[in-house]
Amino acid sequence: MDSSIFREYDIRGIYNQNLTQDTVFGIGVLLGEKIKENGGESIFIGLDARTHSPILYKWLKEGLGKNGLKIYFIGMVPTPVAYFATYNTINGFSSHNSIMITGSHNPPQYNGFKITLGRKPFYGKDIKELGEKLAQNPISYDPKPIQEYNIDALEAYKDYLIKHFSKLKNFPYSVALDYGNGVGAIGLEDILNKLNIRHSSLFAQPDGNFPNHHPDPSEEKNLSDLKNYLKNHNTPIGLAFDGDADRIALLTSNHNYKGDELAILFAKNLAECNISPLVIGEVKCSQIMYDEINKIGKSVMYKTGHSNLKIKLKELNAHLAAEMSGHMFFNDRYFGYDDAIYAGLRALELFLNHTPEELENMIAKLPSFYCTPEEKIPSSEENKFVIINKLREILKNPPKNFPKILEIITIDGVRVVFENGWGLVRASNTTPVLVTRFEAKDKESADLYKEKLLDIIEKIKHMLY
């Protein structure tokens, strides 16, 4: 068994390479035991459009069924529908547990499981312990008859959102949507039609081979089709989704809103409704976001990762949490998980009180800082955290020519605050890389901070390799 599939936030691997019949069945058996230990008797399971999702479902449900769990199959759906099911009774069926079979924004050969137990993400040490247990005591494929029910959670989800966003009916602008051949259209198209929102849809047909572009809206190159459509068809607003529709991108004619910019807009919207917003951001978010939100409410910096932010959101009872990648979590008027369809409709609400030009101007008026894109440095699973720990030690007594340090934030990796900006180096929890980002009042300062921090990283790597 390949233990690398047991990641920080989910279980993810390559079909029939490390997501094998025995391994997936074994994961089901152990998760079933876990659910039974906590008094659970059932679980919702959904899947994305990937060609191998149905066979993974078969193996997984057979493993879960070994413990007598009732399987509530919700079919091909966006990931947030699986979360939604754990908070609502669907046609008389209820469970606080769900598994979404999805490879998210990864290439077609990938797949995996996003797991919710007791309405909480199953992640971190729990996933690692499950992997260790399976490695120590392998489980061979040995299915038996199970209780399985087909549940239409998607229809309940759509009905909920149609009522929730009734004030968007006859929305005054036309909207373009790029679903990237993921499952987002399954959830959103009917909602837009029922609300009479004029829209045009790109790549709405689910196709696990993703024939048009990679389903990751956080990568600028994957937005080129949507940008061209906005320009060529004089459409003022665009929304783009990742493969399983839990990450959103908002575009207007002249701007692509990053995750931290969306957080600012949503926070200002809450303030306009006389709510003092409490907003959680991750370590990659701009300092501008934290400063702007602190003017109208309170911001909190926390670890990167959708599981981390979901837990922190509930812990603090915050209104909103945001990741740069487009995961948006609404605890205000919603259930506190990342739902790109819900976030997209909340984004459209912004345009009920502000024109697209006014929203662009809001962002344009923010303090001007130079920001590097997220950049990745190859490492290894074994060394990436070692490098971060050594970097922390070295920065306690940095080299003589190192820029003046005002603060070192170690919530997730190392975020070094300098006089004119900051630099971040963190170990990815999903791939064998270090992730960096730099922000400063000018390009020269950002480049300097980048150069000096990466010099230390290279010296550490040279020592290790």
- Please name the amino acid found at residue 87: Y
Catalytic residue among 327, 346, 415, 426: 327
What distance in Å separates the CA atoms of residue 31 and residue 324, rounded to the nearest whole number?
A: 31
Catalytic residue among 42, 98, 104, 428: 104
DSSP secondary structure of 250-292: EEETTEEE-HHHHHHHHHHHHHHTT---EEEEETTS-HHHHHH
370 contacts: CB under 8 Å, gap ≥ 6: 421, 439, 440, 441, 442, 443, 445, 446
Please state whether 234 falls in left (phi above 0), alpha (psi between -120 and 50) or beta: left
Half-sphere exposure of 309 (CA within 13 A, CB side): 26
Catalytic residue among 7, 12, 52, 247: 12
The string over 200-225, giving b where at least 16 C-beta atoms fall within 10 Å of a residue's C-beta and e elsewhere, is ebbbbebbbebebbbbbbbbeebbeb
Grouping H, G, I as helix, E, B as strand and the rest as coil, residue 135 is: helix
What distance in Å separates the CA atoms of residue 12 and residue 17, rounded to the nearest whole number?
A: 11
Residue holding tokens 């606080």?
A: 96
Please state whether 39 falls in left (phi above 0), alpha (psi between -120 and 50) or beta: left
175 contacts: CB under 8 Å, gap ≥ 6: 192, 197, 198, 199, 200, 235, 237, 238, 239, 348
What distance in Å separates the CA atoms of residue 30 and residue 176, rounded to the nearest whole number?
A: 43
Strand partners, 238: 176, 251
Task: Say if residue 267 is exposed, middle or buried (CB neighbours under 10 Å; 0-12, 13-18, 19+).
Answer: buried
DSSP state of 456: H
Q: Report the chain's terminal Cα–Cα distance, integer Å.
A: 27
12 carries an active-site annotation:
yes
Strand partners, 433: 378
Strand partners, 150: 73
- What's CA 214's distance to the chain center, in Å? 16
Q: CB atoms < 10 A from the CB of 358, how many? A: 11
Question: Cα dist. 96→26, 43, 86, 99, 112 in Å?
Answer: 22, 7, 4, 11, 20
What distance in Å separates the CA atoms of residue 127 and residue 122, rounded to the nearest whole number?
A: 7
Cα angle, residue 113 at apex, residues 148 and 434 outer, rounded to 5°: 175
415 carries an active-site annotation:
no
Q: Please list the active-site residues.
A: 12, 104, 327
